[in-house]
Copies of this chain bind each other. A is one copy, B any other.
Amino acid sequence: MGIRFGLIGAGRMGRVFANTLAYSVAEADLVAVADPEAATLDEVSARYGVPTRYTDYHELLAQKDIEAVVVASPTGTHAEVITAAAQAGKQIFSEKPLSQDLKACDLALAAVKKAGVKLQMGFMRRYDAPYAAAKQKILEGVIGQPVMFKATSRDPKRTSLEFARREHSGGMIMDMGVHDFDLARWLMSSEVTRVFSEGACLAFPELKDVGDIDNAVINLRFATDAIGNIDMSRNAVYGYDIRTEVLGTDGSLWIGYLQQTPTLVLTRGGVIHDTVPYFMERFGAAYAEEVRVFTRHIVNGTDPEVTGEDARAATAIGIAATLSLDEERPVLVSEVEE
């Protein structure tokens, strides 16, 4: 008998978690799913053999024999669902972000604290084997003292115009940057204290109409005085391009790759290879691993490594970097914390 899980939200990411809970985590049982769409419920419960289904997630939370929930509802509802789940005494794994609003973050974190339940946030990159190995090497001192963080985060196509609106996605810097803001804090073992963003709408003019941009470079300053830069783009037509570097006083670590399959085609035109199509091809295994780790935390009574506080900190950096874009000036993260 494994840990009994309920899944809240069965959209694209919800199905990824359903598949993981059903097939890839030996100690987990997926016993219920909640989603407002009846058709979605039918499909997901049939496909993954989930016995109980709800259109209202509160009913799922009321089911006594459910010990833990995975929150994969729309981004804007995370804080609210986490709060309710905490009040219902469930152990909580939630997709990122916690919220794009710091007050909402604080309310949810207070509820989690009061209930004394676990909350693990879905920054899956930390569970990607290459990133985990890099973190380990940094801790072992392989590169000396970290002095520079570099990240590239690029999508092969633009998001929907609806999602691009600030009120939905938080804008490109918040939406695409949150994973990098988390990696920056984690790999550098230091808080980001100042950000400065340059960004523009250069490839998809229609994004301008909904108030978004498609390219940005963000300078970072850390509490240790280390520095960094993140570049983002929605027009990496060649593929999904996620690369990260930590430069230290004694060396450097690069994490990431472009080539998806180990096939080279050599013709008169040169040597050609493919790229990574999109995020699931790159991070599919990490999405499974993070749930596996969370389940083990419940089994073992240990605390998650990626906390709600981490999610809140990434949100704060995103707010500051977006403010910097709007006001064309460097912004202290402490400014937006207040």
Interface residue ranges, A against B (CB under 8 Å) = 23-24, 26, 47, 129-130, 133-134, 137, 142-143, 145, 147-148, 150, 152, 154, 194, 196-200, 202-203, 214-221, 225-229, 231, 233, 235-239, 247-259, 261-275, 328-330
Contact = CB atoms under 8 A, between A and B. Distances in A.
A145 B258 CA distance: 22
B271 A264 contact: no
A234 to B, nearest CB: 10
Contact of A148 (B148, B217, B255, B264): B217
Given A261-B129, A263-B253, A272-B272, A229 B219 contact: yes
A217 B229 contact: yes
Contacts of A145: 202-203
A237 B267 CA distance: 6
Q: Which 7 A-B pairs have the closest CB atoms?
A: A257-B262, A251-B267, A238-B266, A147-B202, A23-B23, A254-B264, A217-B229
Nearest to A147: B202
23 contacts: A133-B261, A133-B263, A134-B263, A142-B267, A145-B202, A147-B202, A147-B233, A147-B235, A148-B217, A194-B198, A198-B221, A198-B227, A198-B228, A200-B221, A200-B227, A217-B219, A233-B247, A235-B249, A237-B250, A238-B266, A251-B266, A254-B264, A271-B274
Contact of A236 (B247, B258, B265): B247
